C-alpha cells in the first residue's frame, strides 16, 4: 500500500510540477505572478473535451491541439494586457500585473460559464482500466498524465538549455537590462514565453480533464497548487518547481491516506507556510 501511495503521489506531483513550471517560467521572464494561470488550465481542459467530442480525435492529438489554442490565447493576453510591463509605460508594473491578471481570471471564468455552461464536462478516458507498475495497480489515466507531464517538463528543460531562445529567456531572468543590451528583443520574448507558460497550464488541464472533470471554476485548485509549488521550489526556479511538485504530490497523498482526505489541501498550505517561515527563498530560489 505504501508503494502504491508513493507512485500515485509522484503521478499527481508531476502534474502539479507542470503547472508550477509554467508559473515559474512566467515569473522568471516577466517578473510577474499570473492570477489567471489556473484559468488557462481550465481552457486547456475544455479544448481537449471539445476537440475529442466534436472532431473525434484521439487524446494524443487533442492535448497538443489544446496547447496550441491556449498558447495563442496566452500570447494575445500578453500583447493586449501585459506588454506595458516591459515597455516601461507604467510606473508600478507589479501592481499593474496583479490587477490585470486578476481581472483576466474573473473574465475567463464568466466567459467560460456563458460559452460552455455551468455544468461539469468529462472527455472519455484516455486509457481505460488500470495498469500494473511494480506490482501496484494504478489508474491508467493518472499514470499517463504523470508521464506526459514529465516529458513536457524535460522538453522545456532541454529547450531552455539548448536553444537560442531558451538561453535568451534565461538571460532575461538573470538581468533584463543585460539581455536587452545583448540584443534580446524583450517584447517578443515576453509574449512567446507567456504563451508557452499558458500552454503548459493548458496541457495540465487537458491531461487530467477525464480524471478531475472540467468546469468554469475548475482552475482555482490548480492555481493554488501552482503557488504552493513555486513557494516551495523557489521563485522562478524550474528545477525547484519539479522537486516541489513531487514533494507536494507525495506528501498530500500520504497525508490523505494516513490522516484524512479532508486535510489534503491543508497539507499543501502547511508545507508552504513552513517554507515561507524557515526558508523564504524556497529550495532552489536565489537569495
Compute the distance between CA of residue 195 and CA of residue 198 in angstroms, rounded to an integer: 5
The reported pLDDT for the residue numbered 32 is: 84
Integer CA distances (angstroms), 81 to 78, 105, 140, 173, in order: 5, 13, 39, 21
CB contact at 8 A, 25 and 169 = yes
pTM of the model: 0.93
Average pLDDT, the chain: 89
The 10s digit of each residue's pLDDT in 232-263 is 998 878 888 999 999 999 999 999 888 888 88
Alpha-carbon torsion (275, 278, 281, 282), positive or negative: negative
Q: Are 17 and 230 in contact (CB under 8 A)?
A: no
User: Which three cell numbers mark 164?
Assistant: 537560442
3-class secondary structure, 263: helix
Cα dihedral 173, 177, 180, 181 sign: negative
pLDDT tens per residue across span 36-84: 999 999 999 999 999 999 998 999 999 999 999 999 999 999 998 888 8
Q: Is the pLDDT of residue 213 over 60?
A: yes
pLDDT over 60 at 287, yes or no? no
Closest CA to 24 of 184, 212, 249, 245: 245
Amino acid at each position: 500500500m505504501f508503494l502504491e501511495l508513493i507512485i500515485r503521489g509522484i503521478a499527481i506531483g508531476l502534474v502539479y510540477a507542470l503547472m508550477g513550471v509554467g508559473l515559474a517560467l512566467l515569473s522568471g521572464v516577466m517578473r510577474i505572478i499570473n492570477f489567471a494561470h489556473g484559468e488557462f488550465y481550465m481552457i486547456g481542459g475544455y479544448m481537449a473535451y471539445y476537440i475529442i467530442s466534436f472532431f473525434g480525435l484521439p487524446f494524443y492529438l487533442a492535448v497538443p491541439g489544446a496547447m496550441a489554442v491556449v498558447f495563442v490565447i496566452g500570447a494575445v493576453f500578453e500583447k493586449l494586457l501585459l506588454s506595458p510591463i516591459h515597455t516601461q509605460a507604467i510606473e508600478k508594473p507589479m501592481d499593474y500585473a496583479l490587477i490585470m491578471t486578476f481581472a483576466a481570471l474573473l473574465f475567463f471564468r464568466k466567459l467560460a460559464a456563458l460559452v460552455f455552461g455551468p455544468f461539469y464536462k468529462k472527455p472519455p478516458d484516455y486509457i481505460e482500466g488500470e495498469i500494473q507498475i511494480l506490482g501496484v495497480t494504478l489508474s491508467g489515466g493518472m499514470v499517463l498524465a504523470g508521464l506526459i507531464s514529465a516529458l513536457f517538463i524535460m522538453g522545456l528543460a532541454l529547450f531552455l538549455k539548448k536553444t537560442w531562445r531558451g538561453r535568451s529567456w534565461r538571460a532575461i531572468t538573470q538581468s533584463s537590462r543585460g539581455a536587452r543590451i545583448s540584443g534580446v528583443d524583450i517584447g517578443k520574448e515576453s509574449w512567446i514565453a507567456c504563451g508557452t507558460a499558458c500552454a503548459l497550464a493548458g496541457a495540465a488541464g487537458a491531461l487530467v480533464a477525464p480524471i478531475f472533470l472540467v468546469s468554469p471554476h475548475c482552475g482555482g485548485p490548480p492555481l493554488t497548487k501552482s503557488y504552493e509549488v513555486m513557494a516551495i521550489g523557489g521563485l522562478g526556479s524550474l528545477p525547484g518547481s519539479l522537486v516541489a511538485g513531487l514533494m507536494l504530490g507525495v506528501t498530500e497523498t500520504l497525508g490523505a491516506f494516513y490522516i484524512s482526505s479532508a486535510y489534503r489541501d491543508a497539507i499543501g498550505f502547511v508545507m508552504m507556510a513552513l517554507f515561507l517561515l524557515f526558508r523564504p527563498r524556497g529550495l532552489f530560489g536565489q537569495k
